[in-house]
Amino acid sequence: MAGVQPPPLRSLDDFLLCSARFAVPDLRDLDRWNNRMINNLLYYQTNYLLSALGLLLIVGYFQPLQMFVGMTVVSIAFVGFVFAAENQATVRRFRRNHPYVCVMAVLLASYLFMSVLGGVAVFLFGIAFPVLTIFIHASVRLRNLKNKLENKLESIGLKRTPMGLLLEALGQEQEAGS
């Protein structure tokens, strides 16, 4: 993670207002649409992070208890999934040695999940809505010269950003900057 630098916050004028140009992407040319999205994700990543946090805070403000409960349940489910994936032999051995405990745990987890389903829905909406808005903005925002220059610096490795690392981990690094 050495050499990773967060990109600057782009002006509201550049991000949304007067100088921003928007156009519906050509759905027949998926490569070009993918290229536009990746480059916008790289260029506006700080703006997207702040927008997502703002929307998440708004949802949390209107439904704080459900947001907290949903976040807790989703986090526990995620940690449980990672634990089970890392310790498969241990889980199988426990299930074989204590079948009644496992059945009760599954029933209890199902009951807990059903009772907090509203909170989970609020939390997932709190995450899905910002992701959807970022996806829409990255899809319709046309690139400008400064955007292209910054993305070229990212693609040749002169600058490393958190979004660049994420896209690289997702296998999208070859498209970035082209």
pLDDT tens digits, one per residue of 114-166: 677 777 778 878 888 888 888 898 888 877 777 777 766 666 554 677 777 77
Q: Please give the pLDDT value at position 177.
A: 45
What's the length of the chain?
A: 178
Does any domain span residue 16? no
The pTM (predicted TM-score) of the whole model is 0.66
Q: Taking the alpha carbons of 133, 138, 139, 140 in that order, is the dihedral positive or negative?
A: positive
Does any domain span residue 82? yes
Does any domain span residue 9? no
Does any domain span residue 178? no
Domain residues for 48? 29-169
Task: Please give the Cα distance from 15 to 9 (Å, whole number).
Answer: 9
What domain count does the chain have?
A: 1
